[in-house]
Amino acid sequence: MFTSDEAASGIRYRAVADWAVLGKKLRKDLAKVKTALPDVPSDDIKEYVKTGKIVVGGIELVEGDLQVQRYIELPAGHETQYATHTDNDVVVRLDIKAYPELASEWLVREMINRVQKLRKKGGLQATDDIEVYYKFDSGSGAEIVTAMEQHAEVMQKTVRNVPVDEKERKGGETLIAEEQEVAEVKFTLSLVRP
């Protein structure tokens, strides 16, 4: 969602100074500004952007003395759900919460990627009729298998078949087999000519 309503989005303002430059200008008063600057309210910094003047620690500063940064102040407890970034013109709030359905789609995309790379490595064309088999170590790979079952249609469209457990193999010529890793799970992926 895009909005220019800063209040509704939780946009806040803070000021930072180039202390070397400001030090030459303020000399002995620099310490007062340095101490007071972190406590200047967001609304005062926003007003400084409009007027070009602000009083910090009893010292008047003018346009160019401070750099203003815009940021989003996340409500307590939301730090693990959102990430924020700004270039001072645009502030972005990104939902970084892990959603199971997206994780499942990611696993399938990774499997599709592995099959396609293995096809290429084996010198196969996209139109070559092959079967794909996987072999997980005992007790691993359940999430990947579930994801492939949930997104079988996507896999069928993309790589022309859904990988099957090596235990169900009924023969055929192994064209290429290679160890793979997805989501820290190692397994063997085989391309077989029926």
Q: In the predicted model, is pLDDT for residue 189 greater than 70?
A: yes
Q: In the predicted model, is pLDDT for residue 85 greater than 90?
A: no
| Nearest-angstrom CA–CA distance, 63 and 48 | 8
| Nearest-angstrom CA–CA distance, 98 and 132 | 29
| Nearest-angstrom CA–CA distance, 42 and 11 | 9
pLDDT tier, 132 (very low <50, low <70, confident <90, very high otherwise): very high
| Nearest-angstrom CA–CA distance, 119 and 113 | 10
β-pair type (91-95, 131-136) = unpaired
Q: In the predicted model, is pLDDT for residue 1 greater than 70?
A: no
The mean pLDDT of the chain is 88
| Nearest-angstrom CA–CA distance, 182 and 142 | 12
Taking only the tens place, the pLDDT of each residue in 25-59 is 888 888 899 999 999 999 999 999 899 999 999 98
Enter the tokens of residue 111.
């499997």
pTM higher than the cut 0.85: no
For the ranges 37-46, 64-73, 84-93, the lowest mean pLDDT is seen at: 84-93
53 Cβ partners below 8 Å, 6+ apart? 60, 61, 62, 63
The number of beta carbons lying within 10 Å of the beta carbon of residue 168 is: 8
The number of beta carbons lying within 10 Å of the beta carbon of residue 133 is: 20
Count Cβ neighbours within 10 Å for each residue of 20-36 and write b for 16 or more, e otherwise.
eebbeebeeebeebbee
